[in-house]
C-alpha cells in the first residue's frame, strides 16, 4: 500500500504532500494511501558517511552477516538510512539490497602497511603491492576503497605516513583507474598533505589539515569527514601510549585540541563536509545525531549545513537520490524544526526506509 506524508519538506522549506509507492517518491497524489505523518519536518533519510558494520564492539572483525545486520539496524532506528562503510574486514555484498537495512556504499578492506594498523582489520601490504591491492579491494567494495594514510611508527615514536609519497599517490590513481573513489584515514600533517595533493576523494578525520590544504580541497572538491566523536577519544589513546611513546601522545593531544578549529576553517572555506561517526570497534553505532551536534556546537556549522551534511547533500554525494520525483523512499520526520533546535534530531517521530515504516 502507498504511504502518504505531509509536512514541511527540507531543504525547500515548504509544506508538501508526498507519496511513497514501493521504494519511490512521487508528488502525484495516490488515492487511498495511508497517511503516516501529518505535520512536522520531513527530510531525506540521514547518512553516516563513515562507520563500520563489519567491526564488532571491542574491535574484532564480525563473523556473521547477522552481526552486520544488527549494527546497521541500530543506525537505521536512529534515522540513518544510508551508510558509507569505510572499511570492513568481513565482506557482506549480500546486504547491498537488503530491504531491512540502510543503503550501503562500501569500501572493501582497509589497505594498510604491515603491522601498522588495528589488528586483524586491514589487508597489510608493502609498497610494491599497494596498487594491485587497491584494484582488488575496489572489486570487493561497491564504489570506494579505503587507504590507511598514516599510523604510529613505533621506530620513530610518532605518526608517520603509511608508505612513501609516490606509492600513496599511485594508490589513489589505481582507485580511479578501477572506477572507484578513494577515502583515506589520516591523523598527521604529513600524510594528509600527500593524499590531498594526490587527489584523494575524501579525507577521513583530517586532524593534520593546514589552511593551504583546505584551499586545495576546495579547488579539487575533496570532501572531509571529520568524525569528531572519534577525535574526542584521542585523549585515551594518548594516555595509553604515553609511557612508551611520549612524542606520539603529545602529538595526538595537540591534534585533538586544534581540531574543532580545523573543521571550522574547512567549513568557512567551503570544503564539502559530511557526517560520519566512525562507529564500529570502540565507538557505538546510532550516534549520528551526536556527531551532528558536535559539528554545530564545536565547529560552527550552521544547523542547515549540518542537516545537509547528514541528509540531502550526503545522499547526493553517495549517489542515493532524496525526496524528489522518482527519488528513493527514505525519510525521517521530526516533530519540531531541526533548523531552530538541532537537538530534535536525537528523536525522529517517523523513520521510513525503502517505503516501509521503521518507527
Ligand atoms: Zn573508521
Q: What is the pLDDT of residue 69?
A: 98
Is 86's pLDDT higher than 90?
Answer: yes
**Per-residue confidence at 302, pLDDT binned at 50, 70, 90?**
very high
Region for 68 from its dihedrals, namely left if φ exceeds 0, alpha if ψ lies in -120 to 50, beta otherwise: alpha
- pLDDT value for 275: 98
- Residue 157: band (very low, low, confident or very high) from pLDDT cuts 50, 70, 90: very high
Residues in contact with 341: Cβ distance below 8 Å, sequence separation at least 6, in sequence order: none
Cα angle value 118/120/122 (rounded, 5°): 70
Q: What angle do CA 178, 150, 258 make, to 5 degrees?
A: 120
How far is the centre of ligand 1, averaged over its atoms, from the C-alpha of 51 (Å)? 6
The rounded Å distance from CA 55 to ligand 1 centre is 10
Residues forming a β-bridge with 111: 123, 147
Q: How far, in Å, is the centroid of ligand 1 from the Cα of 37?
A: 35
Residue 175 CA to ligand 1 center (angstroms) comes to 19
State the CB neighbour count (10 A cutoff) for residue 328. Answer: 23
Q: What is the mean pLDDT of residues 194-217?
A: 98
d(CA 87, ligand 1 centre) in Å: 7
| Predicted local confidence at residue 1, as pLDDT | 86
CA-to-CA separations, 330 to 21, 102, 277, in angstroms, rounded: 11, 9, 20
Distance (Å) of CA 73 to CA 70, 82, 255, 285, 291? 5, 11, 33, 9, 18
Tens-place pLDDT, residues 311-332 = 999 999 999 999 999 999 999 9
pLDDT at 219 over 90: yes
Please tell me the distance between residue 284's alpha carbon and the centre of ligand 1 in angstroms. 12
Given a contact cutoff of 8 angstroms between Cβ atoms, the answer to whether 181 and 272 are in contact is no
Q: What would the grid cell of residue 85 be? A: 562503510
- Give the pLDDT of residue 359: 94
At residue 115, the pLDDT reads 93
Are 213 and 233 contacting, i.e. CB atoms less than 8 angstroms apart? no
Calculate mean pLDDT across residues 256-260.
97
- CA–centroid distance, residue 40 to ligand 1 (Å): 33
Report the candidate in 139, 68, 79 with the shortest Cα–Cα distance to residue 344.
79
Residue 101 contacts residue 122 (beta carbons within 8 Å): no
Could you give the CA distance from residue 252 to residue 230 in angstroms, rounded to a whole number? 12
Cα–Cα dist 339/192, whole Å:
33
Q: How far is the CA of 185 from the centre of ligand 1 (A)?
A: 7
Cα-to-centroid distance, 304 and ligand 1 (Å): 25
Amino acid at each position: 500500500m502507498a504511504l502518504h506524508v505531509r509536512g514541511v519538506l527540507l531543504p525547500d522549506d515548504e509544506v508538501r504532500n508526498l507519496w511513497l509507492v514501493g521504494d519511490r517518491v512521487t508528488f502525484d497524489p495516490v488515492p487511498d494511501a495511508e497517511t503516516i505523518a501529518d505535520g512536522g519536518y520531513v527530510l531525506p533519510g540521514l547518512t553516516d558517511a563513515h562507520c563500520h558494520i563489519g567491526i564488532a564492539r571491542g574491535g574484532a572483525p564480525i563473523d556473521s552477516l547477522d552481526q552486520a545486520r544488527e549494527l546497521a539496524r541500530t543506525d537505521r532506528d536512529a534515522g540513518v538510512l544510508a551508510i558509507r562503510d569505510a572499511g570492513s574486514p568481513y565482506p557482506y555484498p549480500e546486504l547491498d539490497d537488503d530491504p531491512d537495512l540502510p543503503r550501503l556504499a562500501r569500501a572493501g578492506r582497509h589497505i594498510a602497511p604491515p603491522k601498522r594498523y588495528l589488528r586483524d582489520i586491514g589487508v597489510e601490504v608493502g609498497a610494491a603491492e599497494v596498487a594491485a591491492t587497491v584494484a582488488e579491494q575496489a572489486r570487493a567494495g561497491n564504489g570506494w576503497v579505503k587507504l590507511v594514510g598514516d599510523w604510529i611508527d613505533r621506530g620513530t615514536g610518532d605518526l608517520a605516513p603509511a608508505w612513501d609519497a609516490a606509492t600513496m599517490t599511485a594508490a589513489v590513481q589505481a582507485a580511479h583507474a578501477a572506477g572507484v573513489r578513494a577515502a583515506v584515514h589520516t591523523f598527521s600533517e604529513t600524510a594528509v598533505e600527500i593524499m590531498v595533493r594526490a587527489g584523494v576523494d575524501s579525507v577521513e578525520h583530517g586532524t593534520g589539515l593546514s589552511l593551504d590544504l583546505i584551499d586545495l580541497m576546495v579547488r579539487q572538491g575533496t570532501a572531509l569527514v571529520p568524525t569528531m566523536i572519534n577525535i574526542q577519544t584521542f585523549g585515551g589513546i594518548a594516555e595509553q601510549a604515553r609511557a612508551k611513546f611520549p612524542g606520539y601522545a603529545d602529538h595526538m593531544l595537540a591534534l585533538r585540541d586544534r581540531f574543532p578549529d580545523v573543521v571550522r576553517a574547512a567549513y568557512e572555506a567551503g570544503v564539502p563536509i559530511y557526517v560520519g561517526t566512525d562507529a564500529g570497534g570502540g565507538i557505538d553505532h546510532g550516534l549520528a545525531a551526536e556527531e551532528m551536534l558536535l559539528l554545530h556546537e564545536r565547529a560552527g556549522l550552521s544547523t542547515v549545513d549540518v542537516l545537509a551534511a547528514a541528509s540531502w547533500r550526503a545522499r547526493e554525494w553517495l549517489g542515493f537520490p532524496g525526496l524528489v520525483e522518482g527519488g528513493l523512499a527514505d525519510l525521517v520526520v521530526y516533530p519540531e524544526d531541526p533548523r531552530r533546535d538541532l537537538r530534535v534530531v536525537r528523536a525522529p517521530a517517523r523513520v521510513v526506509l525503502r517505503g516501509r515504516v521503521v518507527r
